[in-house]
Structure 1
């Protein structure tokens, strides 16, 4: 009886394992490896396979001899043909896609993209303009031998497409130390950038700023010019900008108000370390055309790290430097280190 019971349990377990394997998608690599799981996406020469034994795998399509799916998927071929149905491998890299309208025979190399029933063509998603919003807050304090408090808040909105972007921002900073104000600044602005070729584009930007600590009653900066896309990859971008602008600064103290045309230079760099960890670097250099010794440099570098399992909450840690060659007070360089909690939504 005991032997029969063990035999029955072993047989049941084997059938369950076989059933689980039978309902899995299959990827066969060029070196003969057979990987089972669920194919969630094929895009840009990569097959995304979700497995219960190794998590999410990314396999280069050039290393895949064939694949097949148990459930219906949508497939787009090099010719532009789109067809939905289960994919069957017939050997030697040949594939059959079975739909209600018939059977289409192709091969693995001709598959450009594939996605599930509830998803969209990844190329359509990439080319869609979409708004993204970021709200951040940065609060620090210290009590005891020194009483210190700093608070910063910002709101950003960006409408981004594959070759253009429109962004708006507003931010406010306030700080006190031993009852004396150390920060009291408000700023806001907009920018638009569009690329009409692979590397070349144009931009326009404008911003307003008030800073009571630096005796700036109002500073207005506007500029427009050419953009040069030096790097444009999925994980890294680098854009250089150069143009002409105009700057007007009104001061709270005895310093005479300034008004002059300017040159406008900038660098914008992004780098993606992992799926959700980003580094951004921004640098602007704005010298006056009337006096090249009168210039302003702003640099901001930071890393954004997701918090929790979703994509909404992030922490941004970074450093910001603002250098003004002819300030209204004695302080030319203003450096701040920050840690911001960011909430993003679309």
Structure 2
């Protein structure tokens, strides 16, 4: 019985090793795990002993994988390889069912798992929720739910995000609003893109009850990889404001957007900030600011804890200014 158990363990162990991807480094190290993606100069290796490890692509000697992977030697075209086999230093061999093809590691820009329908389609995002219920002499209910998702296919990028906030004390509502936004980017080069954006905000408490915005303009992507992303965009916006007393305003404005996130401590902690500052071209308002900054801590591969600060400011709108700040802490799902 003992010998059979040991035999089974040996078979399982040998199978696990055989299925593991291997990366040889230029300094002589040999790492095993599962290759998840290569992007932005970093090869992500998922290991049982160190979690997800980012490896500097310039320090990789060669590598091996039995996975089917999409290998892209430029920004938009890729070759599906049934396996990767080690080659001479600085090279790797693509096994694609035809004659094996050996390529320079320096020529590879991206490695990812091919998708069933659109091979180079990638999607990432998160859903965060903060809930606070207090039952005492005064009853307090506090909700905050937010989501953001980004999908990329070739030269196109889709970004959608939204949020709902509600606070009430003894059935007296002090905050009740929601907003949603969709942006479509068309990359003109690897870094420059043109964006079209539509957003809508609805507030049931503040004087400024509705905000509708259409905008378009150029942007620049400094980087976007597994360890984070940073982009800046400039927009020409058409905004429509509607106040609780029925007054309406519409105007054009110029705005600057930013989006930044960075993973720290082996992709365990994420720092992020997003926002937009705008200046109307007419005198209906002085300026506007819509921003957030926060930290997200990954408890598992999909679950996270988060803390966030939000600032929403509009000044100069006929003494009906908007100035709100909000702190939240809660749980989330990352995908």
TM-score of the aligned structures, taking structure 1 as reference length = 0.69
Partner of 1:3: none
Mark the CA change 1:59 to 1:280 in structure 2 (over 3 Å): closer, same or farther.
Answer: closer
Mark the CA change 1:164 to 1:339 in structure 2 (over 3 Å): closer, same or farther.
Answer: farther
Mark the CA change 1:310 to 1:333 in structure 2 (over 3 Å): closer, same or farther.
Answer: same
Q: Deviations over 1:150-205 (max 9, x none)?
A: 11234555433354322334432221124422111122232212221133211121
Mark the CA change 1:111 to 1:139 in structure 2 (over 3 Å): closer, same or farther.
Answer: same
1:200 equivalenced with 2:203 (yes/no): no
CA contact (8 A) 2:285 2:314 kept: no
Q: What number of residue pairs does the alignment pair up?
A: 320
Instruction: Tell me how far 1:320 sits from its aligned partner.
Output: 0.3
Partner of 1:5: none
Tell me the C-alpha RMSD between the 2 structures.
4.7
1:339 equivalenced with 2:332 (yes/no): no
Which structure has the greater CA radius of gyration? 1
Q: How does 1:157-168 map to 2 (within 5 A)?
A: 158-161=150-153, 163-168=155-160
Q: Out of 175, 200, 205, which is 1:213 matched to?
A: 205
CA contact (8 A) 1:195 1:201 kept: yes
Mark the CA change 1:143 to 1:329 in structure 2 (over 3 Å): closer, same or farther.
Answer: farther
Q: Out of 243, 258, 264, which is 2:249 matched to?
A: 258
Give the secondary-structure state (helix, strand or coil) at the position aligned to 1:291.
coil
Q: What is the CA–CA distance in structure 2 between the aligned matches of 1:249 and 1:98, rounded to whole Å?
A: 58
For structure 1, the residue ranges without an aligned partner over 5 or more in a row are 1-8
Q: Out of 164, 167, 177, which is 1:185 matched to?
A: 177
CA contact (8 A) 1:214 1:329 kept: no
TM-score of the aligned structures, taking structure 2 as reference length = 0.70
Q: How does 1:128-139 map to 2 (within 5 A)?
A: 128-130=121-123, 134-139=126-131
Q: Deviations over 1:86-113 (max 9, x none)?
A: 9577x989999999988x6969868959
Partner of 1:4: none
CA contact (8 A) 1:215 1:329 kept: no
Partner of 1:269: 260
Partner of 1:148: 140
Give the secondary-structure state (helix, strand or coil) at the position aligned to 1:213.
coil
Give the secondary-structure state (helix, strand or coil) at the position aligned to 2:206.
coil
For structure 2, the residue ranges without an aligned partner over 5 or more in a row are none
Instruction: Tell me how far 1:318 sits from its aligned partner.
Output: 0.8
Instruction: Tell me how far 1:230 sits from its aligned partner.
Output: 3.3
Instruction: Tell me how far 1:321 sits from its aligned partner.
Output: 0.4
Q: What is the CA–CA distance in structure 2 between the aligned matches of 1:281 and 1:339, rounded to whole Å?
A: 15
Q: What is the CA–CA distance in structure 1 between the aligned matches of 2:283 and 2:136, rounded to whole Å?
A: 47
CA contact (8 A) 2:121 2:151 kept: no
Q: What is the CA–CA distance in structure 2 between the aligned matches of 1:293 and 1:166, rounded to whole Å?
A: 30
Instruction: Tell me how far 1:136 sits from its aligned partner.
Output: 3.9
Q: What is the CA–CA distance in structure 1 between the aligned matches of 2:92 and 2:160, rounded to whole Å?
A: 48
Instruction: Tell me how far 1:246 sits from its aligned partner.
Output: 1.4
Q: Which moved more, 1:261-270 or 1:328-337?
A: 328-337
1:287 equivalenced with 2:279 (yes/no): yes
Q: What is the CA–CA distance in structure 1 between the aligned matches of 2:160 and 2:110, rounded to whole Å?
A: 35
Q: What is the CA–CA distance in structure 1 between the aligned matches of 2:91 and 2:232, rounded to whole Å?
A: 46
1:302 equivalenced with 2:294 (yes/no): yes
Greater relative contact order: 1 or 2 (C-alpha under 8 angstroms, separation 6 or more)? 2
Q: Out of 305, 313, 316, which is 1:323 matched to?
A: 313
Q: What is the CA–CA distance in structure 2 between the aligned matches of 1:101 and 1:225, rounded to whole Å?
A: 45
Instruction: Tell me how far 1:257 sits from its aligned partner.
Output: 2.4
